[in-house]
Structure 1
Amino acid sequence: MLSLTTIDVSFNQLEGPLPNMKAFEDAPKEAIGHNKGLCGNNTGLDCPIQPSNEGNKNKLPILIAIILPTLGFMLLVLFTVTIFFYLYKRYRNVTVRSQETRENPFTIWSYDGKMVYERIIETLEDFDSKHVVGVGGHGTVYKAELSSEFFAVKKIHAPEDGEMQNLKSFENEIRALTEIRHQNIVKLYGFCSHSRHSFLVYEFLSGGSLRDILNQTEQAVEFDWKRRVMVVKSIAKALSYMHHDCSQPIIHRDLSSSNVLFDSEWVAHVSDFGTARLFGVLTLEIIMGKHPGDLLISIHDMKDISLAEIPDQRLPPPVVQIAEQVELLVEVAFSCVHKSPHSRPSMRDVTLDLSVEKRTANRNRIST
């Protein structure tokens, strides 16, 4: 309508601002009169300021330019915080696990047995003989260092020609030690049953075995009467615990000087629960410093035995108080090797006898 020159919109009930065109600007009042509320141009009425769509259109890009970067920044911050807390939680878990592993490497046994298996194989260089510290009837014991701590790894001998005795020994030892918690019984950390290697992992006891100590004069002398009495009492407590205090009684069946191990403080620990000697024999071996052999024959033949011939001659005679305890140990040992199993005391009775400072009344076969 740019070519429009004249206009007459009177009597039409129109309202609002007149268009900004020459025809409306030059129109006489009669041409725009009698309307409801026209304004602007030559009507004499000023129009209220109306928001311009043009302005809104101009503001929209500005709003978008402000909102989008702000929203993007907030999403970036949220993403960064989420990643931070995720990594922090993961780092904390790894740190806790690492700390637990340093304190006890076999904590990880519960969640990654393969890792432990591979670490042991690597540490022992695929069970190289230079790491061997002992050999038994059912397995070879290796010394392994993991996380700056030493452990004893008992590798079970592979069965030959269908021989299942070693496997049975392996299962018996696991079954026994997983139920035992006692200060005088070796601690089992874990085990691995694998087609290539089967082994058990124990605490490493640096003091060696009772047999090794008795066979070396220097150590045997250091293993004085007081320590020998304490060792016998410790072993008795361990056996009493297994026989009477476990949910199901556990019988060792292979208790010997090779299976009694010492830590650096001369504390005795019973080990090797794979198979199944008389406790009295071991006690006599500790007192005599050697296997009692011929002495057992004399006991069973009811011959008189001189106490002076029994104590380890490498040690000086014990003082009076210790001598009484040594004599008590000998008497208890004799009762434990009685021909009739029904005449032997229980380990609980033995423990009670050794815990009091008195000797048993049955001494009619021992002459001083």
Structure 2
Amino acid sequence: MAPADCRSCLAGIIPLISKSMSGKQGGRILGLQCNYRYEQYPFYTGASLLQLPAPSVGEAPGPAPVNATPATPTPTPPEGASKRNGAATILAITLPIVAAILAFVVICLCLWRKKSKTVRKAPVSYPTNPEDIQSIESLILDLSTLRAATNNFDESNKLGEGGFGIVYKGILPGDEEIAVKRLSLSSRQGIEELKNELVLVAKLQHKNLVRLVGVCLEEHEKLLVYEYMPNKSLDTILFDTYRSNQLDWGKRFRIVNGIARGLQYLHEDSQLKIIHRDLKASNVLLDSEFIPKISDFGLARLFGSDQSQDVTNRVVGTYGYMAPEYAMRGTYSIKSDVFSFGVLILEIVTGRRNSVAYDSEQSVDLLSLVWEHWTMGTIVEIMDLSMTSHSPGDQMLKCIHIGLLCVQEDPADRPLMSVVTVMLSSNTVSLQAPCRPAFCIQKSGANDSYMHTGPYRGVSESTSRSRMSPNEVSITELEPR
């Protein structure tokens, strides 16, 4: 519109104000092409959309510009509008505060429940940072690849079998030999143990620890893939009458040293402080050069840097290798692994399996047998006969000595693995005299029967008493009040 047309339209609207809006606080009149509005408080804070030129000489002054408020004193907003604005301001302030308080309370409740559940259930702590997840994802293998590598898990590729399942030999593309650990549906190693082993082995790198090649979790299969060990596990050779002669003293001493260094890495040298909890001859694998590698970390536990021990109500492991405080009270620490290592040393030197069963062919456990010969000075008599007579007797005696120090009943009396490695490598370190080992059974009388004097004193009590009394006469044990 031209300014003249706009002013003419506006001039026609203005007379209607006094007729229809007299006494009103505000209002609006709509024309055909323009409209007029006024209020007692500002309703538009911007600049005017259209500034009309000043009227010419002789022309009556026109109204205020379009969309501009009248040039009158601005009154205060009406009481109702003020109340509404006040209520809106209060709601705008209080609602975020209330929401923040509720969110804080919910977060606190969730943290409290999580903490109480952790204390009550005491679950295993697994590393779950992105680096761990990424390292695991890089190890994922296809089931089809493993089926092809093992010829669909053919029986001819079977390497061994245990409570967890079967181990198969396989060959990956590129001629890399592998050992596939196939967990059975009824395996004692559940998904938590599998996850535990997966995370720990993926993060640990040492020449005396078995290397994890990959993992497969498809079609209800749980498969762990390790580097292939041509000589299998230590027990398959050490306790085999026909194969034990493959292990001369040089190989056995290197095996002892390798296991000690692997344990030292787990306990002291790695970024993670790990307790294996199931160290035994069957969990020590041997490569083509008889270098030992510790395996099977399904029962391993991760400790904090300042943590010295822990307690569990689920004692798992292998009897004969368990430390007494772990078997009896569920208390485990790095000294529990030291005890297992001590048993391993004695088994390697003597070629005998440790047995704690009363009905076994071996009438006394290995620790008691070694202690008896140690105190009598006839320790050479129980050395493995498959070793040549040229074996260094002083080195073998030192290993027996270290083994007895590792199987002391009090964990505080057992050396750290770093100390053990120094003892093994040095000829100048003086060794303290060992005390009677744990689980020791002492020979009594001419009957060659044995009395239990270790922490398992209450186990098989009737059996031990029957052996102490061939005529089955009861024995009264007097105790002072």
TM tier, shorter chain? Answer: 0.5 to 0.7
Q: Secondary structure at the match of 1:154?
A: strand
- The answer on 1:135 being equivalent to 2:207 is no
What is residue 382 of structure 2 aligned with on the other side?
310
5 Å-filtered alignment, 1:189-200, equals 189-200=213-224
What amino acid is the match of 1:332? Answer: I
What amino acid is the match of 2:170? Answer: A
- The answer on 1:153 being equivalent to 2:180 is yes
Question: Does the CA contact (< 8 Å) of 1:300 and 1:338 recur in 2?
Answer: no
> How much is the aligned-residue C-alpha RMSD, in angstroms?
2.7
What amino acid is the match of 2:177? Answer: F
What is residue 187 of structure 1 aligned with on the other side?
211
Deviation at 1:342, TM superposition (A): 1.7
5 Å-filtered alignment, 1:222-237, equals 222-237=246-261
What amino acid is the match of 1:310? Answer: I
Deviation at 1:111, TM superposition (A): 6.9
Q: 2:150 aligns with which of 124, 129, 138?
A: 124
What is residue 368 of structure 2 aligned with on the other side?
297
5 Å-filtered alignment, 1:168-247, equals 168-247=192-271
Deviation at 1:204, TM superposition (A): 0.3
Aligned partners of 1:364, 1:340: CA distance in 2, in Å? 11
Instruction: Tell which structure's C-alpha radius of gyration is larger.
Output: 1
Aligned partners of 1:224, 1:334: CA distance in 2, in Å? 22
Greater relative contact order (Cα 8 A, min sep 6): structure 1 or 2? 1
Aligned partners of 1:242, 1:316: CA distance in 2, in Å? 34
Q: 1:287 aligns with which of 349, 363, 388?
A: 349
Question: Does the CA contact (< 8 Å) of 2:401 and 2:434 recur in 1?
Answer: no
What is residue 72 of structure 2 aligned with on the other side?
none
Question: Does the CA contact (< 8 Å) of 1:151 and 1:202 recur in 2?
Answer: yes
What amino acid is the match of 1:281? Answer: V
Q: 1:362 to 1:154 in 2, by over 3 A?
A: same
Question: Deviations along 1:320-351, whole A, 9 cap, x unmatched?
Answer: xx322211111111011111112111111111
Aligned partners of 2:273, 2:287: CA distance in 1, in Å? 26
Which runs of 5 or more residues in structure 2 are unaligned?
1-135, 300-316, 322-339, 356-364, 437-481
Deviation at 1:362, TM superposition (A): 2.5
Q: 1:214 to 1:250 in 2, by over 3 A?
A: same
Deviation at 1:217, TM superposition (A): 3.5
Identity %: 33
Q: 1:339 to 1:169 in 2, by over 3 A?
A: same
Question: Deviations along 1:219-249, whole A, 9 cap, x unmatched?
Answer: 3112111111111011000000011112221
Question: Does the CA contact (< 8 Å) of 2:139 and 2:215 recur in 1?
Answer: no
Deviation at 1:195, TM superposition (A): 4.6
Which runs of 5 or more residues in structure 1 are unaligned?
1-108
Aligned partners of 2:385, 2:139: CA distance in 1, in Å? 53
Aligned partners of 1:157, 1:192: CA distance in 2, in Å? 14
What amino acid is the match of 1:184? Answer: N
5 Å-filtered alignment, 1:1-368, equals 113=140, 116-147=142-173, 148-159=175-186, 165-275=189-299, 277=321, 278-293=340-355, 294-298=365-369, 304-305=375-376, 306-319=378-391, 322-358=392-428, 360-363=430-433
Select the structure that is richer in helix: 1
Aligned partners of 1:308, 1:354: CA distance in 2, in Å? 19
What amino acid is the match of 1:304? Answer: T
Q: Secondary structure at the match of 2:388?
A: coil
Q: 1:227 to 1:359 in 2, by over 3 A?
A: farther
What amino acid is the match of 1:144? Answer: G
Aligned residues: 252
Aligned partners of 1:112, 1:323: CA distance in 2, in Å? 46
- TM-score w.r.t. length of structure 2: 0.48
Aligned partners of 1:329, 1:140: CA distance in 2, in Å? 34
Aligned partners of 1:222, 1:142: CA distance in 2, in Å? 24
Question: Does the CA contact (< 8 Å) of 2:143 and 2:218 recur in 1?
Answer: no
Q: Secondary structure at the match of 1:200?
A: strand
Aligned partners of 1:288, 1:302: CA distance in 2, in Å? 12
Q: Secondary structure at the match of 1:208?
A: coil
Q: 1:291 to 1:246 in 2, by over 3 A?
A: same
Question: Deviations along 1:42-67, whole A, 9 cap, x unmatched?
Answer: xxxxxxxxxxxxxxxxxxxxxxxxxx
Question: Does the CA contact (< 8 Å) of 1:328 and 1:360 recur in 2?
Answer: no
